[in-house]
Structure 1
Amino acid sequence: MTQTSENVTWLTQEAYNQLKAELEYLSGPARTEISAKIAAAREEGDLRENGGYHAAKEEQGKMELRVRQLTQLLEHAKVGEAPSTEGVVAPGMVVTIAFDGDEDDTLTFLLASREYASSDIDTYSPQSPLGGGVNGKKVGEDAGYELPNGKMASVKILDVKPYQG
């Protein structure tokens, strides 16, 4: 579970441990494995037409990006429970909205970073248009956000409750 307030990311101990373990694996054994793949592919000869070499280099780039993301996330993380935001939309909350005030056309989702996406519930990032539009709003308030086509849409906040995982 993640909750972000300003530049602090709140993580449960379990989430922190999971992300820290992933970072340690990517920084150690995974780096060694990818270096070995690159070296083996390099020995095959001409690098211009060596698909294995290019695939390994691309995999290495993606892995290094993830290492930087995790390092930055964990650098600013605080372990524990974020301050209570009862009735206010914030990361880590399950939000139910009605589109254009139509209480028959609703959506319930978790407002959280992509690391916490689950098959149990739709997850929207606080940086997404909808997530940014509802973040900080209270139950009963209207929120606006920009659609991909540039038009504005509005939703009404019907319910906000902490995610129980």
Structure 2
Amino acid sequence: MPVAARTPRRPRLTARAWIHAQSWAIRRLHSMHRTRSASHLETGTLGEREALFHLRLHGYIVVARRWKSAKFRGDLDLVAWHGSTLCFIEVKTRTHRDAFAAELAVDHEKQRVLRRLARAYMQRIPAPRRPSTARFDVVSLYLTPGIASNDTWPEFVLNQGAFEWA
């Protein structure tokens, strides 16, 4: 009987390498296609996408993006599980560093809006499955130009438990 030729096995990507590959591919696609929108909205969208991949690398499981309620204004940028804690994540993106940190843009009014939206989100979860702990995180993201190309390389500051429920 003839021996069948074996095809060489391709090395398996680790989860970390796969997330980096996804982030790189989406970044490349974004650089090829620019939409005609307000630049600050485009910056915010890009920042939320970069934050999603960054959080996945740090063990977060993202379950919702840009969640909105029919009753209240505003949206939750990201909702994710970090272990057994449900996290409501606000992403603040800047194209350069300023005298004030990006997370300072989450003032008392914004915190009030986020708390209201988080309560609405929690009410949609059946009572037996509601998490016992939840927190608010703020991701500050600075898009700085890449050294060797026109790509932007994000710099992250993750503030876990940035503010409380009350």
Aligning the two structures, in what range does the TM-score lie when normalised by the shorter sequence? Answer: under 0.3
User: Which has the higher relative contact order, 1 or 2, with Cα contacts under 8 A spaced 6 or more apart?
Assistant: 1
Q: Which has the higher strand share?
A: 2
TM-score (norm 2): 0.26
TM-score (norm 1): 0.26
Which structure has the greater CA radius of gyration? Answer: 1
